[in-house]
Amino acid sequence: MNRSGQASSGNLAWLALNLLLWGYNWVPLRYMVMDCPPLTCTVIRVVGGALTLFTVLSLKGRPLGPPLDRSFIWSGLTQVAGNSALCSLALIHGGVSKSAILVFTMPFWVLTIASLVFHERIALMHWISLVIALCGIALITSQSFANWEQILGALCAIGAGLAWAIGATIVRHSPAQDTLRRVAWEQLVGVLPLLALAFVMGENLPVITPRFVLAALYSSLIGTGVGWILWNRSATVLSPATLSLGSLAIPIIASTAAFVQLGEKPDTLTLTGLATVLFALLVANLAGMIPAPSFAALRRGRTKH
């Protein structure tokens, strides 16, 4: 595989497909939580993703055992269990557009953790982009304060972004390794606490409808399994800057799909907030200061691909 980082038309086409699949994935997720409790919903899609990833590893003749570096346990608990469960809760209590964009505050949490925990020096433009993003978040949530359900949805989405950032930070400070195998094991580790919580909370089984089955198949096999495989491929052949800028399309695709298929029409204030957060991400990415969500850190481990 070409690892030169050149943005050839073929490589960009695979990235575009990846972003389209991930952006649209928010709609099946919304359908799933309509017919299934949130933790059970998350378990189904994570298990499906793990099975897909381990199947690909087996077909490629790659080792199936856990990575030697056990940090995948902590990243699995945060950016798989934590992020996935909070995303499902956010979709129950809030719309697709708000949830998708608030989850994508993840890069700003990464820089905050880098500054406060690891005492890394953050450039001025980074802080400017963070302030712009906070203004956008304030606009998005400003009409939710009278509605506790929407407040909870916004907090869950922001928490999902934070959990994702913690996991990405763990990966960033881990030794280089086979990224596909690491992600597969992250899925496997992440599903265990989700299963336990779903059992303890006594969640009901999903309502099996054609809509739920199709949504579950898409979200688990394509949105989770195939999505990570494609992102892993892109991370080995494209630059972090290309990945970062490309990732901005995900919440835009999610919002557009929700409007077309679910009839979710954000009000003017929410649209202004969404645009403000996207502008903040664009400012940071153009400055070359924010890695691509989650996998930019994993890009270091591409040597076995």
How do residues 103-116 score in pLDDT, each as one tens digit?
A: 877 777 877 887 78
Q: If you ran DSSP here, which 8-state letter would residue 261 be given?
A: I
Please answer whether residues 182 and 72 qualify as being in contact, where contact means their C-beta atoms are separated by less than 8 angstroms. yes
Whether 1 is in a domain gets the answer: no
Tell if the pTM clears 0.85, that is, is over it.
Answer: no
Whether 3 is in a domain gets the answer: no
Whether 260 is in a domain gets the answer: yes
Give residue 217's Cα distance to chain centre: 18
And the tokens for 238?
Answer: 């494209």
Place of tokens 């690491």: 182
Amino acid identity of residue 38, one-letter, is P
Region of poorest pLDDT, from 28-37, 156-165, 287-296: 287-296
Q: Is 263 helix (H, G, I), strand (E, B) or coil?
A: coil
> For 203, left (φ over 0), alpha (ψ -120 to 50), or beta?
beta
Residue 262 has pLDDT above 80, yes or no: yes
Give 203-260 as a 3 state SS string: CCCCCCCHHHHHHHHHHHHHHHHHHHHHHHHHHHHCCHHHHHHHHCHHHHHHHHHHHH
Give residue 18's Cα distance to chain centre: 12
pLDDT digits (tens, 9 = 90+) for 65-102: 998 888 999 989 998 999 989 998 888 887 787 888 88
Q: How many structural domains does the chain have?
A: 1
**Measuring CA to CA, which residue among 87, 19, 3, 16 is closest to residue 293?**
19
Question: How many other β-carbons are positioned within 10 Å of the β-carbon of residue 299?
Answer: 22
Residue 145 has pLDDT above 70, yes or no: no
Q: Provide the residue range defining the domain that includes 170.
A: 9-304
And the tokens for 122?
Answer: 């953050």
Task: Give the residue-averaged pLDDT of 19-34.
Answer: 92
Whether 217 is in a domain gets the answer: yes
Residue 171: C-alpha distances to residues 55, 75, 79, 177 (Å): 23, 7, 10, 10
Task: Quote the CA–CA distance of 42 and 82 in Å, as a whole number.
Answer: 10
Q: Is 175 helix (H, G, I), strand (E, B) or coil?
A: coil
pLDDT for position 275: 85
Give residue 41's Cα distance to chain centre: 16
Residue 179 has pLDDT above 50, yes or no: yes
Q: What are phi and psi of 126, to 5 degrees?
A: -65, -45
Whether 272 is in a domain gets the answer: yes
